[in-house]
Amino acid sequence: MTAASTTPRTLHLVDASVYVFRAWHSMPNEFTDVDGHPTNAVHGFARFLLELMERAQPEHIVVAFDEALDSCFRNRLYPAYKANREPAPDELKRQFAACKDLCVAMGLTILAHTDYEADDLIGSALHVARAHGFRGVIVSADKDLSQLLGDHDEQWDFARGQRWGAAGVPARHGVRADQIADYLALTGDAVDNIPGVPGIGSKSAAALLAHFGTLDELLRRVDEVPYLSALRGAARCAQQLRMHREQALLCRALTTIALDAPCEGSDAQFRRGTTQREALLDLCERLRFGPLTRRRIHAACGIDFIPVTSETV
């Protein structure tokens, strides 16, 4: 068997919401659709998506969206999960819908679910694809997603042009890829309103996991913690772990990415589908995409140039 025949095919997995939010906050508000609604997030997301398509030219791609801000299974485990986040305004929700429409019209597989977050959809799609001989390239800088990295996978911080595999995770986060969920269970995650274990910060968590390997083993051998000479405040850490054992396990349930989220509506290889030319034409008109964006869409989708027939920006 040749080396080429054993090289895994690549599935790109895009954490779309990150790039929609980034565009919402960074793009000027001069962009509007034909009805006068803001489209700055759609324009920014489209530019990101087209650059990704031009650079990576993916044959297999998943674009995952968050629809579970307050309805995720994690909210049932811990009602305060992400309770510190403001709900998206209606204008942004409208733009999220337009971003999904754009992906569908371009023949890309989108995943969204009210019970699972984008991270879970990415993890589940990657889990399915691995069984068919794929490796994953996760397009996101989110540290939570590093827990998904296997031997052949990569994470791609597209904005910074940085890529790393599982071997690069310790240098970035202080623990192995397979320890990320346990690490976050100990330190907590203020962004998602996950409390962690009080008094255990990043350095302590990394030291504990370096010694014990997993959260389960740490809790099983918690009586050994006070004797760790390399751990500052070891006795206090042990006390906190005993007092907050159940909280640590709950937090681990919150920080662990699910691998069993439904991935309906696509084949197991997430191939790019057929471009819906008429839907693209309608979107370009409705969103008032300019000629440059339209030419890039045409090139990315391999279709005739979509002409400009209305005022655009």
Considering the domain boundaries, does residue 310 fall inside one? no
Considering the domain boundaries, does residue 285 fall inside one? yes
What is the per-residue pLDDT across 56-65, written as a single tens digit (0 to 9) for each? Answer: 999 999 999 9
Output the pLDDT for position 307.
Answer: 61
Q: Are 91 and 152 part of one and the same domain?
A: yes
Task: Report residue 263's pLDDT band, with 50, 70 and 90 as the boundaries.
Answer: confident
Output the pLDDT for position 306.
Answer: 57
What is the per-residue pLDDT across 198-246, written as a single tens digit (0 to 9) for each? Answer: 999 999 999 999 999 999 999 999 999 999 988 999 999 999 999 999 9
Helices of type H across the chain: 3-6, 16-26, 40-56, 73-77, 90-105, 118-130, 169-173, 180-187, 202-212, 215-220, 234-243, 245-255, 277-287, 291-301
Nearest CA among 285, 282, 12 for reference residue 129: 12
Q: Are 115 and 90 part of one and the same domain?
A: yes
Q: Are 124 and 241 part of one and the same domain?
A: no
What is the per-residue pLDDT across 268-300, written as a single tens digit (0 to 9) for each? Answer: 689 999 999 999 999 999 999 999 999 999 999
What is the per-residue pLDDT across 112-133, written as a single tens digit (0 to 9) for each? Answer: 999 999 999 999 999 999 999 9
Q: Are 50 and 191 part of one and the same domain?
A: no
Output the pLDDT for position 266.
Answer: 61
Nearest CA among 54, 94, 20 for reference residue 292: 54
- Rg of the chain in Å (alpha carbons): 22
Q: Are 286 and 214 part of one and the same domain?
A: no
Residue 215 burial (CB count, 10 A):
25
Considering the domain boundaries, does residue 313 fall inside one? no
Which has more pLDDT, 70 or 190? 190
The domain in which residue 288 lies consists of 3-169+258-301
Q: Are 107 and 15 part of one and the same domain?
A: yes
Domains held by the chain: number: 2
Residues 6+ apart with CB under 8 A from 3: none
Residue-wise burial string across 33-53, b where 16 or more C-beta atoms lie within 10 A, e elsewhere = beeebbbbbbbbbbbbbbebb
Q: Which CATH number does the domain housing residue 30 bear? A: 3.40.50.1010
CA 226/CA 223 separation, integer angstroms: 7
Considering the domain boundaries, does residue 312 fall inside one? no
Cβ–Cβ < 8 Å for 54, 100: no
Q: Which CATH number does the domain housing residue 243 bear? A: 1.10.150.20
Considering the domain boundaries, does residue 270 fall inside one? yes
Residue 159 burial (CB count, 10 A):
12
Q: Are 16 and 93 part of one and the same domain?
A: yes
Considering the domain boundaries, does residue 309 fall inside one? no
Nearest CA among 40, 37, 57, 46 for reference residue 16: 46
Measuring CA to CA, how many Å separate 121 from each of 31, 58, 131?
30, 18, 16
Mean local confidence (pLDDT), 143-172? 97
Show contacts of 36-42: CB within 8 Å, 24+ apart.
37/91, 37/94, 38/91, 38/95, 39/95, 39/98, 39/287, 39/288, 40/95, 41/92, 41/95, 41/96, 41/99, 42/95, 42/98, 42/99, 42/102, 42/287
Residue 3 has pLDDT above 60, yes or no: no
Q: Are 263 and 190 part of one and the same domain?
A: no
CA 259/CA 136 separation, integer angstroms: 14
Considering the domain boundaries, does residue 291 fall inside one? yes
Nearest CA among 139, 119, 254 for reference residue 195: 254
Considering the domain boundaries, does residue 308 fall inside one? no
Half-sphere exposure of 113 (CA within 13 A, CB side): 20
Highest-pLDDT range among 2-11, 266-275, 304-313: 266-275
Q: Are 120 and 268 part of one and the same domain?
A: yes
| Rounded (10°) CA dihedral 48, 50, 56, 58 | 120
Task: Report residue 70's pLDDT band, with 50, 70 and 90 as the boundaries.
Answer: confident
CA 103/CA 101 separation, integer angstroms: 5
Output the pLDDT for position 4.
Answer: 45
Q: Are 236 and 288 part of one and the same domain?
A: no
Q: Are 185 and 296 part of one and the same domain?
A: no
Q: Are 67 and 8 part of one and the same domain?
A: yes
CA 298/CA 159 separation, integer angstroms: 23
